[in-house]
Amino acid sequence: MCGLSEATRPKVLITGVTGMIGSHIAEYLTSTGAYEVHGLLRWRSSTRNLRRVADNITMHYGDITDAGAMQRLITKLHPDYIYHLAAQAYNGPSWDSPQYTLEANIQGTLNILEPLRSNGWKDVRVLLAASSAGYGKTTEEYKGQPVPETAKLQPISPYGVSKAAGELLAQQYYYSYGIPVIIARLFVHIGTGHTENQAIQTFCLQVAEIEAGLRPPVLRVGRLDTRRDMTDIRDSAPVIVKLAEKGKVPEAYNVASGRTISMQDLVDIVLSNSRVKHIKVERDPARMRAADEEVLLGDNTKIRELTGWVPKTDMSSSVVSILNYWRGEVRGRRNPARRPRGHANDDEQ
């Protein structure tokens, strides 16, 4: 498909294009030369994650919670694919902001689907970023074994509820209006360009600040006995693109590595790569959640059979890349002259 003119290349709209997942998908799509890529971002969002591909993406400013703006944008573009990644994308903050989480993740999804319904379009394939948080309490029934897509959705956080509801809404639009949707149930994805709300990100940020002398040698953590299925976005971005193109509608697919790592093991990897030794680890009550899954492990058989994917995330290598990223961020904060323009931590919108 390389070398095709814009008139013949599939047109892709990525919501949440400035987030970690959105930016990596944009990088992969533009690297092939086979797609006309458009990105949706909010006015206050940083474009730093897109610095390598910004010249190859058409940017559109707006917010998924603005129904009128989404109607106008999608009607104007009539894309072939929509990667709907914009969201309040974190479990932790959802406890403090449940209303915003539900509005962004449910109403926002509705605002992406409604233009397709109102225009009578059944030719736009929508990949919806769902979450393993939708399984929630169901994970207890599997006792640490891989959870398949057929498992019940029983979320235990406002974020999980919002993602499960978004799935059901998208599938309803397929059953009622024929809009082709594919559900990507993302287990924990890590990589550079994420915000500090994710556990591995905050571990690495704290260590980078300790190394820079900005905080005492104490790493503050939440629960360390939980285990999570983690995938590096560099590994899975091409697979998510294949899923959007080959996935059976309106089905859900676990995007998971098929193995887990404990929070304690993550902390150990981070500390072993620190330039400051003898960092003390302390439990922080503020980092504890009202409810949390003991183990989140995904059965990835379905997506492997569809795409041929063999997950190859090297957690030690991934952690080092994230730690180096935050070292650079901390240097930039200490020396504003070195800080890239437009930098700001933001969510996946």
Measured from the Cβ of residue 105, the count of other Cβ atoms closer than 10 Å reads 29
pLDDT in tens, the chain (349 residues): 444 556 689 999 999 999 999 999 999 999 999 999 999 999 989 899 999 999 999 999 999 999 999 999 999 999 999 999 999 988 888 989 999 999 999 999 999 999 999 999 999 999 999 999 999 999 999 999 999 999 999 999 999 999 999 999 999 999 999 999 999 999 999 999 998 889 999 999 999 999 999 999 999 999 999 999 999 999 999 999 999 999 999 999 999 999 999 999 999 999 999 999 999 999 988 877 667 789 999 999 999 999 999 999 899 999 999 999 999 999 987 665 544 433 333 345 3
Question: Tell me, what's the pLDDT at 262?
Answer: 96
Q: List alpha helices for the chain, DSSP H.
A: 20-32, 67-77, 91-96, 98-102, 108-118, 139-142, 158-177, 199-211, 233-246, 263-272, 301-307, 315-334
Do residues 331 and 211 make contact, with C-beta atoms less than 8 angstroms apart? Answer: no
Please report, to the nearest 10 degrees, the dihedral formed by the alpha carbons of residues 241, 244, 247, 248 taken in order.
180
What pLDDT score was predicted for residue 347?
40
Residue 344: its pLDDT value, please? Answer: 34
The boundaries of every CATH 3.40.50.720 domain in the chain are 11-190+230-255
> Which pLDDT score, from 0 to 100, does residue 5 have?
54
- What angle, rounded to 10 degrees, do the helices at 263-272 and 315-334 form? 60
C-alpha to C-alpha distances, 82 to 122, 197, 245, 293, nearest whole angstrom: 12, 26, 11, 31
CA 294/CA 305 separation, integer angstroms: 28
Asked if residue 134 lies in contact with residue 155, where contact means CB atoms within 8 angstroms, the answer is: yes
112 in helix, strand or coil? helix
Q: Could you tell me the fold of the domain covering 11-190+230-255?
A: Rossmann fold (3.40.50)
DSSP output for 274-305: -SS-S-EEEE-GGG--SS--SEE-B--HHHHH
Beta strands 227-232; 260-262: pairing state: antiparallel
Could you tell me the fold of the domain covering 199-228+259-296+313-338? UDP-galactose 4-epimerase; domain 1 (3.90.25)
Distance, in Å, from the CA atom of 70 to the CA atom of 76, rounded to the nearest integer, reads 10
CA-closest candidate to residue 157, choices 291, 59, 332, 281 = 291
Per-state percent for the chain, helix, strand, coil, to nearest 5 = 45, 20, 40
Nearest residue to 80 (alpha-carbon basis) of 128, 117, 116? 116
The pLDDT value given to residue 8: 85
pLDDT at 290: 65
**Dihedral (CA of 29, 122, 252, 131) sign:** positive
Phi, psi of 39 (to 5 degrees): -125, 140
pLDDT confidence of residue 339:
45
Which segments of the chain belong to CATH 3.90.25.10?
A: 199-228+259-296+313-338
- Give the up-direction half-sphere exposure of residue 122: CA atoms within 13 A in the CB hemisphere: 8
